[in-house]
Amino acid sequence: MEKKEIEHISILKKEVVEGLRVAGNKKFIDCTFGLGGHAKEILKKLGEKGMILAFEYDNELFKLVKKKFSREKRLILVNESFSNLLRVVREKKFFPVSGILADLGIGNFQIEKKKGFSFRRNEELDMRYNPEKQKERAKDVLNTRNEKELEQIFKKYGQIKVAKDLARKIIEKRPIKTTFQLKEILFDFQNKEKKIVRKVFLALRLATNRELENLKDFLEQTILVLEKGGRLAVITYHSLEERIVKHFLRQKRKFLKILSKKPILPSFSEVQKNKKARSAKLFLAERK
Ligand SMILES: C[S@@+](CC[C@H](N)C(=O)[O-])C[C@H]1O[C@@H](n2cnc3c(N)ncnc32)[C@H](O)[C@@H]1O
């Protein structure tokens, strides 16, 4: 049987390429390569001697795209977290950098292929992007933290109002091993809190992968990496990411000029074609 290729429709593609002012033989960094949709668009506009340094932390996805893009000489792909931006840039002697893109969160590869990311399949609650580098799975978070810590995770990463009761229930029902086992527990809370399944899965993903902490570390390093006039483009998908990016841009006015007062949103027609685009917000800034 033929294997179905996973597709990911890249969001705000045109706006990203324009926002980064991609042209000529310059150097760009794609911090979240995914299936390479944005990078392909950047490559189209780059000259023969232009280069992209791309980060993809997911080890399985990295192997797949490394092979798929092996002929592209203008691309350096690394299986690293973007929280190591500065170290990798130095190791690769990749400067001056004209633009950095981060298209945050998960893509279709994780939803369709990686264990535990989707609440629609019954499987082990894993949720690690990179099991070769990360020890703790989402189920370990649930099974080893104390009640107070779980409550904090649900509050901080999921903005869950019933966090306290939920933490108590989790402790009572432990050990929890699978996505459906967790969903069954959440069933009792559905009347008290809207979208509880989504919120808890997001909270667990953020905690397991330290996503918000990595985002903060990464943003700080962009200032050190971008050349004067270089541009930063960040696409966020939920309010916690958005808050961090906004706060960072406000704090760093001395180093970065905010290019649009309000974030750029996908057009109505893009959202109609791609439901996942509806929560996307693009933030653009320029290094002073
Ligand atoms: C929204 S997808 C990117 C899609 C991509 N722009 C495209 O057009 O195909 C986000 C990607 O970032 C990766 N990722 C998540 N956290 C990361 C991190 N800390 N460092 C590097 N990549 C990360 C995920 O594995 C995922 O493939």
Q: For the segment 18-46, what is each residue's pLDDT rounded down to a tens digit?
A: 999 999 999 999 999 999 999 999 999 99
The angle subtended at Cα 57 by Cα 109 and Cα 150, nearest 5°, is 85
Q: Are residues 205 and 222 in the same domain?
A: no
193 belongs to a structural domain: yes
| Per-residue pLDDT, 65 | 98
Does the Cβ of 38 fall within 6 Å of ligand 1? Answer: yes
Q: Which 8-state DSSP code applies to residue 228?
A: E
Does the pLDDT at position 143 exceed 50?
A: yes
168 belongs to a structural domain: yes
User: 103 CA distance to ligand 1 centroid (A)?
Assistant: 6
CA distance 100 to 21: 11
Atom of ligand 1 nearest to the CA of 109: 27
User: 237 CA distance to ligand 1 centroid (A)?
Assistant: 12
Biggest CA–CA distance in the chain, Å, is 60
Q: Are residues 96 and 134 in the same domain?
A: no
| Per-residue pLDDT, 133 | 97
> Helices in 121-238 by DSSP H: which ranges?
138-144, 147-158, 163-173, 179-187, 196-209, 211-225
Average pLDDT, integer, range 256-273: 95
Does the Cβ of 128 fall within 6 Å of ligand 1? Answer: no
Average pLDDT, integer, range 164-186: 98
Q: Are residues 91 and 217 in the same domain?
A: yes
Q: Are residues 200 and 271 in the same domain?
A: no
Q: Are residues 94 and 215 in the same domain?
A: yes
User: 216 CA distance to ligand 1 centroid (A)?
Assistant: 16
Q: Are residues 98 and 145 in the same domain?
A: no
Q: Are residues 85 and 122 in the same domain?
A: no
Amino acid at 54: A
User: 82 CA distance to ligand 1 centroid (A)?
Assistant: 9
- The residue out of 171, 188, 209 marking a domain boundary is 209
- Kindly report, residue by residue over 101-125, the tens digit of the pLDDT: 999 989 999 999 999 999 999 999 9
111 belongs to a structural domain: no
Q: What is the mean pLDDT of the chain?
A: 96
**Partner residues linked to 100 by β-bridges:** 29, 232
> Of all protein residues, whose CA lies closest to atom 25 belonging to ligand 1?
58
CA distance 160 to 195: 10
- The residue out of 209, 227, 253 marking a domain boundary is 209
- How many of the other CB atoms lie within 10 Å of CB of 224? 13
143 belongs to a structural domain: yes
- The residue out of 186, 209, 232 marking a domain boundary is 209
CA distance 146 to 85: 33
Which residue range forms the structural domain that includes residue 264? 13-103+211-287
Does the pLDDT at position 4 exceed 80?
A: no
Closest to 95 in 3D by CA, of 196, 3, 227, 200: 227
Does the pLDDT at position 254 exceed 70?
A: yes
User: 27 CA distance to ligand 1 centroid (A)?
Assistant: 19
- How many of the other CB atoms lie within 10 Å of CB of 41? 17
Q: Are residues 248 and 279 in the same domain?
A: yes
Supply 255's token pair.
């180093």
Does the Cβ of 19 fall within 6 Å of ligand 1? Answer: no
Supply 119's token pair.
């609440």
* Ligand 1 site-directed mutation target among 14, 32, 66, most atoms within 8 Å of CB: 32
3 belongs to a structural domain: no
| Per-residue pLDDT, 1 | 45
Strand, coil or helix: what is 59? helix
Does the pLDDT at position 63 exceed 90?
A: yes
Domain with residue 84: its CATH number is 3.40.50.150
Calculated CA dihedral for residues 124, 274, 248, 91, nearest 10 degrees: 70
Q: Are residues 220 and 94 in the same domain?
A: yes
